[in-house]
Amino acid sequence: MSRTSTAIVLCVTAFAAAGQVEVDRSLRMVNSDPAERRIENLGRATGEDHLITLGGARTGTYLWSPAQVNGSSIALQPEPPLGGYVPGTRLRFLAPALPAAPVKVDVNGLGERSVVHGDGLPLQGAQVAAGTVLDIQYMDTAFVVQSRSAREFCPAGFLPANDRTCLQVDQQPAMNFFEASEHCRGLDAHLCTWPELLFACTMLTGQLNDMHTDWEWIDDTSDHTHTADQGARWTCRSQRSQGAVPSVTAPFRCCARLH
C-alpha cells in the first residue's frame, strides 16, 4: 500500500466516530496492487457529497426513508437529506395509512410533489395498502411509481373479474348518470365500462348481488342519440341507451383497476 493510501486508512480509522473525513485536495492512489487501493472503515454518509460503502449501495440504505402522513402529503425524511428535487432521485418507504385522495410526498420539507403511475395517472391513496413498500423515482416535476405497489388486491366489497379489474358485488342505489360517476370517483374507482361489466357479469355468474334485476348505468354513450348507456338488465349482453339528464336515475356498479 502506498504512503498516501496508508495515511487515509489511518486517518479514517482514527476518526471512526465521525465516520467521514474531509480531504482538502484530490486523492490519487498509485499502488500497483488494486486490492491495496482502497479506503477502509468508512462510516455512514451524512451529506449528499460524501462517499458511501459498497455495502450501503447494495442494501439501498441511502434510498430508504421514514414516512408519515402530514396534512395532505406523506412527509419523507431520508438521511442524508436531499438538497433539492433532482431528476433520477429514487426513494423507498413503507406506506402509512393513506386517505382516499391523490398521493403527494414532501421530502425533507422541499415542498409537495405528486406521485403518478408510469402512464401519468395519479396514484390514489386507496390503491396503496398500509405497510406496502413504495419505490418512487423523481422525473420532471413528479415522482413515478417504480414498484408493483399500487392496488394489487380488490377493495372491500369488490371481486376480481381478472388480473386487471375488480367489480362491486352489490348494486348501488339509483342515481342519475353524473351522480353515479361521482360516487365511484369517491371510492377511487370508476363507473364500469361496457366491456368491464360484460366480462365481469359473464365470469362472476352467481357471485354478484341483484344482477339482472334492473338496468345499470355503464360508462358509455350512444353518440347518435346523445344519450348514456345502460346494461345487464335481462342478460349480461343486454344494453340500451337512456337520457343522461338529472331526472333519469338507475342503479350501477363501480369498477376498480388493479395496477
Residue positions counted in the chain: 259
Q: Which of 114, 145, 176 is the last residue of a domain?
A: 145
Residue with cell 439501498: 60
Q: What is the side-by-side strand order in the sheet with 112-116?
A: 67-70, 73-76, 104-107, 112-116, 142-145, 133-139, 90-94
Phi, psi (deg, nearest 5) at residue 203: -80, -25
192 and 242 both lie in a single domain = yes
183 and 100 both lie in a single domain = no
**pTM listed for this prediction:** 0.51
Contacts (Cβ under 8 Å, ≥6 apart) of 179:
none
- Per the structure, the complete domain to which residue 89 belongs is given by 62-145
Number of structural domains (the chain) is 3
- Please check the confidence at residue 254 and state whether its pLDDT lies above 70: yes
176 and 93 both lie in a single domain = no
CA proximity to 157, closest of 256, 257, 259: 256
Q: What's the pLDDT tens digit per position in 111-163?
A: 999 999 887 878 878 778 788 889 999 999 999 998 764 556 788 889 888 87
162 and 141 both lie in a single domain = no
**pLDDT tier for residue 52 given thresholds of 50, 70 and 90:** low
CB under 8 A, 24+ apart: contacts of 6-12: 8/39, 9/38, 9/39, 9/40, 9/41, 12/39, 12/40, 12/41, 12/42, 12/43
Q: What is the CATH number of the domain that holds 205?
A: 3.10.100.10
Q: Given this model, what pLDDT does residue 9 score? A: 42
Q: Which of 85, 119, 145 is the last residue of a domain?
A: 145
Q: Given this model, what pLDDT does residue 240 score? A: 93
Query: 119-153 burial string, b = 16+ CB within 10 Å, else e?
Result: eeebbbbbbbeeebebbbbbeeebbbbeeebbbee
50 falls within a domain: no
Round to whole Å and give the CA distance between 182 and 178. Answer: 6
Note whether 257 and 162 are within 8 A (CB): no
Q: What's the pLDDT tens digit per position in 217-235?
A: 999 887 777 889 999 999 9
